[in-house]
Each structure stands twice: as structure tokens, then as C-alpha cells.
Amino acid sequence: MSKMTIDDLRRILISCAGESEGDRLSGDILDEEFELLGYDSLALMETVAAVGSEFGVRIEDEQIADLRTPRDVLDLVNDAIAQPN
């Protein structure tokens, strides 16, 4: 499985929140807080479910609460992808 990129995550975030939110997700969002990007916990849960489906990575509910930025999601997903099965 290939690593998840910021562009992959941006596409998933937009698909979960709707195209109207796409403007907030342009530019360098790696270290922007999800809250400032307009994502509440429900939207983040939908995003995590979509990431799991696409990348085959299971993110536990307890881990979701610790995800504050897109970088946090990328690090978690890419670390999981890199782990041997």
C-alpha cells in the first residue's frame, strides 16, 4: 500500500464535508487545527471512516480524539501502513 499524501487527505476531507468547504482546505493545511478548518468531531469521524476504507487502516475511537491536524492523520495512517502485517 502506498503512503497517504496531503492531497489524498484533502480530497477525502472535501468529500466528507462537501465541495463548499473546499476553499478552507486550500494551501498549506498540514498544521491547521481541524476546528479552525470547520471540522467537528462528527466530520472527523466520517473522514477517518473514509480513510480506513481507502487505505485499509483502522483508527480506533480513542485515537480520533487525539487527531488535531491533518499532519496528525497523515502520521497515524502512514505509520500504520509502514507496519509489517
Specify the pTM. Answer: 0.88
Q: How many domains does the chain have?
A: 1
Q: What CATH number is given to the structural domain containing 11?
A: 1.10.1200.10
Q: Calculate ∠ Cα 65-23-46, nearest 5°.
A: 30
pLDDT number for residue 81: 92
In a domain, 62, yes or no: yes
In a domain, 54, yes or no: yes
In a domain, 12, yes or no: yes
Parent domain of 61: 6-82
pLDDT number for residue 27: 82
In a domain, 36, yes or no: yes
pLDDT number for residue 39: 87
Task: Classify residue 26 as exposed, middle or buried by CB count within 10 Å of its CB (0-12, 13-18, 19+).
Answer: exposed
pLDDT number for residue 21: 54
**Segments in the chain below pLDDT 70:** 1, 18-23, 85
pLDDT number for residue 43: 87
In a domain, 1, yes or no: no
